[in-house]
Amino acid sequence: MIVQTITTSPFADQRPGTSGLRKKTTVFQQPRYLENFVQALLDEAALPADGALVVGGDGRYFNREAIDRIVRIAAANGVSHVIVGRGGLLSTPAASHLIRSGAAGGIILSASHNPGGPDGDFGIKYNTANGGPAPESFTNAVAARAARITSFRIADVPAFSLDVIGTQQVGPLRLDVVDPVAAYAMLMESLFDFTAIRALIASGFRLRFDAMHAITGPYAVEILERRLGAPEGTVINATPLPDFGGGHPDPNLTYAHDLVEECFADDAPDFGAASDGDGDRNMILGRRFFVTPSDSLAVLAANATRVPGYAAGLTGVARSMPTSAAVDAVAESLGIPCFETPTGWKYFGNLLDAGRITLCGEESFGTGSNHVREKDGVWAVLFWLNIVAARGESVEAIVRAHWSRFGRNYYTRYDYEAVPSDAAARVMEHLRAQLTTLPGQHMGEHVVRAADDFSYTDAIDGSLSTKQGIRVLFADGARIVYRLSGTGTEGATIRVYIESRETHPDRLGMDTADALRELVTTALALSQLVEFTGRAAPTVIT
């Protein structure tokens, strides 16, 4: 094997965001761009001599080429063992599971819910031996290395194949190509009551899963159709495509419109679900009923003991700060702790590793548990199906009963995408300047209790993360949160999260837009968002 050491110079923008380094595909295609970052990653990871590296992605455009180069860079850097999913495919949660099954770390190639293709986005992320996204200390160190890199190493190796399951020797490196679905499907069978779900489906319960031409197609076909007996065709858009069929693989009411239309039609199925580009997000729909992700987390927590994998109960739960407080009410009633962390799955890792929490989630269609160290789309779908089977009630009935028991958190998120960065910064500055004067102020029927820029001290390692979003907290439990996205690739994305809490039995069935109308007006007035950005309306409302 000939190892070449190539002289390089740093790129100014190799700083990972909420979930890895995400850029336009064309940025990643620049000569030396991927190589620089992977070299910095491997230097920082310092894998043990016999440590295996898992590599896989969501199949988007440039996935194979990137994996080909990563294998050669890994070989040149003394990595002795690489495990890849066949075809270079691995969903993010399946990659997490593979890493946890004995590897030293993993590289996941995805820009998640962002569109793919030559004009779309690409991304790369490092997960540590626990299977979870590397913590901020690691990603900061990688960014610092990438900012002063002078060379990278890459090996000339004999041709290898990503399509043949089995072991190949690539120079000194052992390359294992594995079935991307098998181990994951087994893990799911170990957690859920497949017999009960199979019986539910056999009884005529109709479901639809939209894989959005992204990574979960093969997983959902294997599990829902082959193992659980759902009719062929239950999974739609099941073939992963490099450009996701031209779509935006983001499972929400805006982008999963085909599924939403079907689930709100007269002959709607009993259950609908979708996942995102890399398979870690989920959207849950009942018949003509949408379950908000924050409610979904709360319902899973409240019903967890009905599911075999969680029958012993939960040690605790966690949610990201902007996620609604619906799960807090469940935790309180169960007498277990509820942690509030910054946005991004990496902040759940320590709590999961320490056994302090069992379930966690985010408002951005992400739910997960201690079974892996990523959020998990197909897992969430199976959890819901297991609950439906165990309770023998519809999705809508389960959620309405939940509201009656725990109260309801009305919730909406406004996204303003591709806003000029300076305008977005002005919005945030304008808000920050008001933090000290807001408490005590009356806004419509709400009184501000506190306002701050959220900071978080990790309960396990004491690390501090600051500036994680502006919070305006009202005395009655309502909240407005503002933050800038860390996953966008064009200008800035401003996210505004609006929530109110309702426990009065007569007011649990309102339309969300009606329930939050006044708070939305307050949120816009406080931030002067329309004035600063010139945006009359958000790009997406969820």
> Of the candidates 350, 485, 522, 542, which one interacts with ligand VG1 according to CB under 6 A?
485
320 catalytic residue (yes or no): no
Q: Output the CA angle 216-179-99, nearest 5 degrees.
A: 85
> Of the candidates 345, 416, 482, 532, which one interacts with ligand VG1 according to CB under 6 A?
345
SS (H, E, C) 133-156: ECCHHHHHHHHHHHCCCCEEEEEE
User: Does position 121 bind Co ion by CB under 5 A?
Assistant: no
| Closest to ligand VG1 by CB, 51 or 486 | 486
**Smallest separation (angstroms) from Co ion to the CB of 378:** 12
User: Does position 458 bind Co ion by CB under 5 A?
Assistant: no
DSSP code of residue 231: P
79: left (phi over 0), alpha (psi -120 to 50) or beta: beta
Residue among 91, 110, 112, 500 flagged as catalytic: 112
Other Cβ atoms closer than 10 A to 422:
10
Both tokens of 275, joined, read: 């996942």
User: Does position 502 bind Co ion by CB under 5 A?
Assistant: no
Distance CA(314)–CA(307), nearest Å, equals 11
Sign of torsion over alpha carbons 203, 292, 359, 416: positive
> Of the candidates 208, 281, 371, 479, which one interacts with ligand VG1 according to CB under 6 A?
281
- Contact partner, 487, from ligand VG1, Co ion, none, Cβ < 5-8 Å per class: ligand VG1
User: Does position 487 bind ligand VG1 by CB under 6 A?
Assistant: yes
| Closest to ligand VG1 by CB, 58 or 502 | 58
User: Does position 367 bind ligand VG1 by CB under 6 A?
Assistant: no
Contact range with ligand VG1 by CB under 6 A, out of 273-281, 386-394, 418-426, 471-479: 273-281
> Of the candidates 14, 16, 19, 408, which one interacts with ligand VG1 according to CB under 6 A?
19
Distance CA(453)–CA(325), nearest Å, equals 18
Distance CA(369)–CA(366), nearest Å, equals 11
Binding string to Co ion for residues 60 to 99, with x set by CB under 5 A, is what? ----------------------------------------
User: Does position 44 bind ligand VG1 by CB under 6 A?
Assistant: no
| Closest to Co ion by CB, 112 or 409 | 112
The structure tokens 């900071």 sit at: 455
Going through 67-114 in order, the beta strands assigned E by DSSP cover 81-89, 105-109
Phi, psi for 126 (deg, rounded to 5)? -110, 135
| Closest to ligand VG1 by CB, 216 or 343 | 343
DSSP code of residue 163: S
Other Cβ atoms closer than 10 A to 151:
13
* C-alpha distance across the termini of the chain, in Å: 52
Judged by CB under 6 A, the chain residues 96 through 155 that form the site for ligand VG1 are: 112-113
Contact range with Co ion by CB under 5 A, out of 20-28, 222-230, 269-277, 427-435: 269-277
Size of the chain, expressed as the number of residues it contains: 542
User: Does position 465 bind ligand VG1 by CB under 6 A?
Assistant: no
Contact range with Co ion by CB under 5 A, out of 97-105, 196-204, 230-238, 280-288: 280-288
The structure tokens 């858009």 sit at: 237
Other Cβ atoms closer than 10 A to 97:
23
**Smallest separation (angstroms) from Co ion to the CB of 113:** 5
User: Does position 112 bind Co ion by CB under 5 A?
Assistant: yes
Contact range with ligand VG1 by CB under 6 A, out of 214-222, 343-351, 404-412, 497-505: 343-351
In sequence order, which residues have a C-beta less than 8 Å from that of residue 475 and are 6 or more positions away?
446, 447, 448, 449
Q: Are 414 and 498 in contact (CB under 8 A)?
A: yes
Report, as residue numbers or ranges, the catalytic residues: 112
Contact set with Co ion (CB under 5 A)? 112, 276, 278, 280-281
Contact set with ligand VG1 (CB under 6 A)? 18-19, 112-113, 276, 280-281, 320, 343-345, 362, 364, 366, 485-487, 495
